[in-house]
Amino acid sequence: TQLLEQSPQFLSIQEGENLTVYCNSSSVFSSLQWYRQEPGEGPVLLVTVVTGGEVKKLKRLTFQFGDARKDSSLHITAAQTGDTGLYLCAGYSGGYQKVTFGTGTKLQVIP
């Protein structure tokens, strides 16, 4: 069974601080996605990374795919209260036949 472990599980920070969320596995993935989920709603896709070592930026969010395509990180610069939510990573493998979601990181940004 493939596992995607996310760390930390919970994170509570002050507005303006920086943070990094990690998504790790012992398995290789064809691609990896990051989602944000707000209470009472479904996840919303933020980004997809495909190439080992790839870095993508989405305003204050920076996503990196590990060189070996086994891990990924999400870095948020100058967090805002609107960044509050559950962040999920999801890895595709087996020629995109299988998707595995991470355990999730619950982020709270305090004003």
Q: With respect to another protein, which residue has the nearer C-beta, 74 or 88?
A: 88
No. of H helices and E strands in the chain? 0, 11
Q: With respect to another protein, which residue has the nearer C-beta, 23 or 76?
A: 23
Buried b (16+ CB within 10 A) or exposed e, 66-92: beebbbbbbbbeebeeebbbbbbbbbb
Q: With respect to another protein, which residue has the nearer C-beta, 88 or 109?
A: 88
Q: With respect to another protein, which residue has the nearer C-beta, 6 or 77?
A: 6
Over the window 21 to 60, marking each residue x when it contacts another protein by CB under 8 A and - when it does not, the resulting string is: ----------x--------xxxxxx--x------------
Region binding another protein by CB under 8 A among candidate stretches 54-62, 65-73, 77-85, 93-101 = 93-101
CB of 102 to another protein, least distance (A): 5
Instruction: Provide, for the chain, the percentages of residues in helix, strand and coil under a 3-state DSSP scheme, each rounded to the nearest 5.
Output: 5, 55, 40
CA distances in angstroms from 75 to 32, 92, 98, listed in the order given = 15, 21, 26
Q: Which residues form the interface with another protein (CB under 8 A)? A: 4, 9, 31, 40-45, 48, 88, 90, 92, 96-97, 99-104
